[in-house]
Amino acid sequence: MERIVIVTGANSGIGLALCDRLLTVDSHLRLCLACRNMQRAHAARSTLLTSHPDARVDVVHLDVGSVQSVLTAAQEVQSRYSRIDFLYLNAGIMPNPQVDIKALFKGLFSRNVINMFATAEGLLTQQDRLNSDGLQEVFATNLFGHFLLIKELEPLLCQPSHTSRIVWTSSSNARRSAFSMEDIQHTHGTEPYSSSKYASDLLSLALNRHKNSQGLFSSVVCPGLVMTNLTYGILPSFFWTLIMPIMFLIRIFTNTFTLTPHNGAEALHWLFLQKSESLDPRAKYHSLTSGLGTNYTQPRQMDVDDGMSEVLYEKLLELEKGVRRKLTERNADKETHGQ
């Protein structure tokens, strides 16, 4: 049977590499690229069709950072497909990143050096802002938009006698201490990326608890450090190229420096080949690349618990209600003012 796979943020980096890898293992796939920029989406589609001329690749407009866009995209998806086999929640942002150079040098001479390179703990901060829905942009893009998408697509994801899978592109940068249940959007801190990724780890656990009985299974992945537009926003590409020999050296000690989008997509691709019964809801599946360049996937236990994941789930449901109410009011307002 033809499998239907949707990938958000599929036009570049890890998302695009994943699409290429999926089409290589299953040429009968029906792939849907869910992207915010249609020009880039069509360019990605053309690239994929060049290497896989017989593939079925669709494109749908989706800005996960906009509530209206998520609702419209979900309607479009429901009109096109009768079920979803895999939903890869991969779109993500890290706006205005700042590297703490002092902490980097201090870390280099500490016993924590390997962990520092693997997780960037204490090295990175970002500057977030409010989006047009009144939500923190990083939270809205990396987490909430995807949450809303799942809710909207439930009729396709939770079907009797059919198993559907969700895969979150999380990060080893996800940290409990960057996340606060009193401030789930991370309005007050300087690590919205870490917070949003930790929230996705919690949410995945909650989704498994609530939805496994309806045939929906959620997993979490860390692709490792990959050279993509996201990392080129941290340091310019020429700098990364300059330090490439050092990065290959570091890879020997951590294996988390996967570096290429193809390598980074390893665990996402691996999960596609696994049966839902074999998945561990508390594991984060890491893409790893050895010093000799061999790719493999390794599950590692996440720092999450059921209590916290349930509280977050309830908070997201509350927020969803509020956001929908606001949107209805805004649309009604537009109609009365003839816009």
Indicate which residues carry an active-site annotation.
Answer: 193
**25 and 39 Cβ atoms separated by less than 8 Å:** no
Question: CB-based contacts of 162: which residues, under 8 Å, 6+ apart?
Answer: 83, 215
Say whether 284 sits in a helix, a strand or coil: strand
Binding ligand NDP (rule: CB under 6 A), the pick from 40, 176, 300, 315 is 40
12 binds ligand NDP (CB under 6 A): yes
Least distance CB 47 / ligand NDP (angstroms): 13
Q: Which is nearer to ligand NDP, 40 or 162 (CB)?
A: 40
Helix, strand, coil percentages in the chain from 3-state DSSP, rounded to 5: 50, 15, 35
Segment 116-145, which members bind ligand NDP (CB under 6 A)?
141
Chosen residue from 36, 146, 211, 251 binding ligand NDP by CB under 6 A: 36
Select the residue interacting with ligand NDP from 37, 51, 132, 177 (CB under 6 A). Answer: 37
Residue showing tokens 């939770």: 158
Contact region with ligand NDP (CB under 6 A), list: 10-18, 239-247, 302-310, 322-330: 10-18
131 binds, among ligand LBM42IJL, ligand NDP, none (CB under 5 to 8 A by kind): none
Residue 14 binding ligand NDP, by CB under 6 A: yes
123 is an interface residue for ligand LBM42IJL by CB under 6 A = yes
DSSP run (H or E) holding 311: helix 306-336
Applying CB under 6 A, the span of 120-128, 139-147, 272-280, 307-315 interacting with ligand LBM42IJL comes to: 120-128
- For the chain, the distance separating the N- and C-terminal CA atoms, rounded to the nearest angstrom, is 45
Beta strand ranges found along 113-264 (DSSP E)? 124-125, 164-169, 216-222
Whether the CA torsion 287, 289, 290, 295 is positive or negative: it is positive
Selection from ligand NDP, ligand LBM42IJL, none that 62 binds (CB < 5 to 8 A by kind) is ligand NDP
Q: Is 104 in the site for ligand LBM42IJL (CB under 6 A)?
A: yes
Site for ligand NDP in 172-191 (CB under 6 A): none
Out of 4, 19, 92, 118, the residue judged to bind ligand NDP by CB under 6 A: 92
Q: What angle do CA 219, 221, 223 make, to 5 degrees?
A: 165
Neighbours of 26 (CB within 10 A): 16
How many beta carbons lie within 10 A of that of residue 264, not counting itself? 27
Contact indicator for 289, 258 with CB cutoff of 8 Å: yes
Residue 225 as a binder of ligand NDP (CB under 6 A): the answer is yes
Supply the minimum distance, in Å, between the C-beta of residue 206 and ligand LBM42IJL: 21
Q: How far is CA 302 from CA 38, 90, 165, 171, 282, in A?
A: 35, 19, 19, 11, 6
Surface-to-core class of residue 56, CB atoms within 10 Å of its CB (0-12 exposed, 13-18 middle, 19+ buried) = middle
Smallest gap from residue 43 Cβ to ligand LBM42IJL (A): 24
Using CB under 6 A as the criterion, which residues of the chain lie in contact with ligand LBM42IJL when the complex forms?
99, 104, 117, 119-120, 123-124, 171-173, 222, 225, 231, 234-235, 243, 246-247, 250
Give residues in contact with ligand NDP (CB under 6 A). 8-9, 11-15, 35-37, 40, 62-65, 90-93, 141, 169, 171, 222-223, 225-226, 228-231
